[in-house]
Amino acid sequence: MKRPKTRARVNLDRRDFTKIAATAAGSSLAAYLVTTGPLSPFANLKQQQLSLNDDTHGPVSGPHWGMAIDLNKCIGCEYCQRACSAVNDVAPDKPWNIVVEDRTANGQKFYFSRPCLHCQHAPCVEVCPVKATYVREDGIVIMDYDRCIGCRYCEVACPYDARKFNWEERTDENPYVPTWGVPEVDRRPRGVVEKCTFCVHRIDAALERGQTPGEAREATPACVNVCPVAARTFGDLNDPDSPVSEVLARYPTIRLRDELGTQGSVYYIPAGEEPTP
Amino acid sequence: MTSITLRKRRFEFTPGTIFWFGLIGLLLFIGIVSALIVFKEGLVVTNLTNTVPWGLWITIDLSSIALGAGAFTLSAVVYIFGIQRFRSIIRLAVLVGVAGYTSALLTLVMDIGRPDRFWHPWVYWNVHSVLWEITWCITLYLTIMLVEFAPVIVESRFFNNRPGLRRFGHQLHKVAPFLAVAGLLISLLHQSSLGATYGIIKARPIWFKPSMPIMFIVSAIAVGPAVTMAVAYILEWVSGKRTVAHELLRTIARFSGLGLLVYAYIKFWDLLAVTYYGATPGSELAFRTLNLFTPYGFGFWVGEVFFGILLPVLIFLLPRFNRKPALLVFGALSAAAGILINRWNVTVSGLIVPVSYSPGTEYMLPPQAYTPALIEWGVALGVIGYIFLVFTLASRFLPIFETSEETQKLS
């Protein structure tokens, strides 16, 4: 049986048309206002997102603290790890700085050391459910130990294994004190995550005194000061005359897993055939 | 009137009930003692480490939330798609959801290092964090489920002489459709965000993929209703009363079977894309490590694929099997086990492959190992005891198998 053809007729008078047009215009205006426009509760967020997408994110004016590590110079003495553990009173089995033996692709032995890389697009900062860790204006990624709930998502998310959790209340004697330095910060309480701070307490105090981190010893991270072969340099990446900028200008450097877009503040001079002149 | 007299029957001590309550008491005792030890000593008593910071408890969180997904799926079926014949199982589905979500929250409080700061995500917002969003969604959705469940509680005989409260409960029932819409949106969001928790971690090559949230939500939608179906059968066997029509439960089983097929389809392409066609250096190395040193390949094929998908699909979809209630319950338990094994595999296999970041060299930590400590199992047993207790008390004291209209007529 053949179906009778039905013809749909649309009756639209001018009034209906005006109504529809007005509704459409009104909704799009409202949508704009509450999503990205001035009425939006997320307007700040949007701005933040936009600025995050900006490649030149990070400190636009003012310093951006960074470090360079020369893998050709490093002799694997672990002094950086010890001084760091003493000054920051870090548990000996959960060091913030690590030093390991490694080999290049063609078998040449070298020593690899790693602090926190202080990423400008830090995966750990993105995932924290309570904003207990954040990137400061000067590029340093630090923890708010009073806010951390100890979920350890940041530890899971860090591509560099740079975060350590306080599984228990610490009562241990720090074996590196006083030989390698004395504690300058409090021990972290049980149940929070901790990490390398670029010795932020030194930087903040020194800036108030008018000293330059990376040049004045009191203003420079303990690992940089203690290195017997000066494999580590520290300073303001935005200042072309800082020690770290000079190293970056002279040698080709890489950042660890740069393809992840983490934008770390620590640069490496890779181990090569020839020692760095 | 008969149903009211039935509900007022006295509690009797038979050997069966004594054994059952003894078991629940024992499980809860083990759980509470373990929890107290964890609170006192800190998470150091677990086998979690800095390389494997998440383990059994996270698996329980993820699984119990996924298995509670029957609540939002069946609520959507009734209130949004208007398929009224499923109304008789809604209350049970919401009860399963409440049990699942509350056990997830209990385990979560055990798992965080600072349980005293559990409220921080509500106050200190990081809108970029999926974990923050999940915390909010779970809070909101648990509230929705409790509001949905409130009429059931006020209809129980404890409130027989509080007519005002009962009327309020029935008023609440009228907003159920709105709650179902909100619940559907929130559930779709957080059930998939649980997968995104892993899927967005670019540091770990075997997690970092867009299929992660999709696989989590599809598996939850497929298996959640099946768990509700199994609970309905089990309560029927225990109480000896036919409560939900078997034809309805069979329909739910068929739905779950189809859902599992969709899950299997996505999983198939995911596997092919990641291991066969993709095989990026990172994931290649990670999978080789897993296959050489760990039993996770076996766990995937036998646990997730055979017990989690194949077996339940056959039971749920073949007419010769899905007419037998015992087989349907077995299929649902098998599928639920598949979810548990999947969530475990995802969590632990991703973590025991160490992250590799050294510049272009062979530096690679050995694969880590993780087996839960006894105390972690102790907390898990406590959670199981809690779930048993919820179902026992609810089935004994609450009118979970009546619709609101019926009880209104009766009272």
Phi/psi-derived region of residue B190, left when phi > 0, alpha when psi is between -120 and 50, beta in every other case: alpha
Q: What is the pLDDT of residue A180?
A: 95
Which residue do the tokens 């939900």 mark? B244
Q: What is the pLDDT of residue A16?
A: 82
Is the C-alpha dihedral spanning B36, B41, B47, B53 positive or negative?
Answer: positive
B358: which chain A residues are within 8 Å (Cβ-Cβ)? 100, 102, 112, 256
Task: For residue B410, count other CB atoms closer than 10 A to its CB.
Answer: 13
- Cβ pair A112, A72 in contact under 8 A: no
Distance CA A231, CA B202 (A): 30
How high is the ipTM of this complex?
0.91
Distance CA A187, CA A91 (A): 9
Asked if the model's pLDDT at residue A56 lies above 80, the reply is no
A98/B contact by beta carbon, under 8 A? no
Q: Torsions phi, psi of A123, nearest 5? A: -60, -35
The domain B2-8+15-241+355-410 is placed in CATH, from the list 1.20.1630, 2.30.29, 1.10.287, 3.90.550, at 1.20.1630
A272/B contact by beta carbon, under 8 A? no
Q: What is the pLDDT of residue A151?
A: 97
Indicate the pLDDT class of residue A6, thresholds 50, 70 and 90.
low
- Cβ pair B133, B193 in contact under 8 A: yes
Q: What is the pLDDT of residue B1?
A: 37
Distance CA B89, CA A137 (A): 55
Q: What is the pLDDT of residue B331?
A: 98
In angstroms, the first-to-last Cα distance of chain B is 9
Question: Does A190 or B361 have the greater pLDDT score?
Answer: A190
* Paired strand residues for B190: none
Amino acid making up residue A176: Y
A46/B contact by beta carbon, under 8 A? no
- Cβ pair B105, B387 in contact under 8 A: no
Q: Show the DSSP H helices in B54-175 as ranges.
A: 56-67, 70-75, 87-111, 120-123, 130-155, 163-174
B126/A contact by beta carbon, under 8 A? yes
| Per-residue tokens: B10 | 């006295």
Distance CA B187, CA B72 (A): 7
Q: What is the pLDDT of residue A105?
A: 77
CA distances to A17, A32, A39, A44, B168 from A28, in Å: 17, 6, 14, 21, 39
Is the C-alpha dihedral spanning B129, B134, B135, B137 positive or negative?
Answer: positive
Residue B24 CB partners (closer than 8 Å, separation 6+):
B385, B388, B389, B392
| Per-residue tokens: A219 | 């203003």
- Helix axes B374-397 and B87-111, enclosed angle (nearest 10): 150
> What strands, in cross-sheet order, belong to the sheet with A65-70?
A232-236, A65-70, A266-269
| pLDDT-flagged residues of chain B (< 70) | 1-11, 359-365, 403-411
* Average pLDDT score over residue span A117-141: 96
Question: Which residue of A lies nearest to B354 if distances are taken between CA atoms?
Answer: A161
Is the C-alpha dihedral spanning A35, A40, A44, A45 positive or negative?
Answer: negative
Domains, chain A, ordered by start: 66-269 (3.30.70.20)
pLDDT tens string A21-35: 888 898 888 877 776
Residue B293 CB partners (closer than 8 Å, separation 6+):
B367
Residue B363 CB partners (closer than 8 Å, separation 6+):
A100, A102, A103, A112, B356
Q: What is the pLDDT of residue B364?
A: 65
Is A106 buried (19+), middle (13-18) or exposed (0-12) by CB count in 10 A?
exposed
In angstroms, what separates the C-alpha of A131 from chain B's closest C-alpha? 5
| Per-residue tokens: B13 | 């001590």
DSSP-derived secondary structure for A108-154: -EEEEEE-----TT-HHHHH-TT--EEE-TTS-EEE-TTT-----HH
A37/B contact by beta carbon, under 8 A? no
- The secondary structure of residue B277, as a DSSP letter, is I
In angstroms, what separates the C-alpha of B260 from chain A's closest C-alpha? 30
Q: What is the pLDDT of residue A274?
A: 60
Indicate the pLDDT class of residue A36, thresholds 50, 70 and 90.
low
Is B258 buried (19+), middle (13-18) or exposed (0-12) by CB count in 10 A?
middle
Distance CA A223, CA B175 (A): 62
Distance CA B335, CA B339 (A): 6
In angstroms, what separates the C-alpha of A151 from chain B's closest C-alpha? 5
pLDDT tens string B41-80: 999 999 999 989 999 999 999 999 999 999 999 999 998 8
Is the C-alpha dihedral spanning A63, A65, A71, A74 positive or negative?
Answer: positive
Q: Torsions phi, psi of A235, nearest 5? A: 160, -165
Distance CA B363, CA A99 (A): 11
Q: What is the pLDDT of residue A52?
A: 55
A153/B contact by beta carbon, under 8 A? yes
In angstroms, what separates the C-alpha of A129 from chain B's closest C-alpha? 4
* Paired strand residues for A113: A99
CB nearest to A165's CB, from B113, B358, B363: B113
Interface test with B, best of A70, A155, A156, A254 (most B CBs within 10 A): A156
Q: In chain B, how long is the greatest CA-to-CA distance? A: 78
Q: Are strands A163-165 and A141-143 parallel, antiparallel or unpaired?
A: unpaired
| Per-residue tokens: A245 | 């900028």
Q: What is the pLDDT of residue B207?
A: 94
Indicate the pLDDT class of residue A60, thresholds 50, 70 and 90.
low
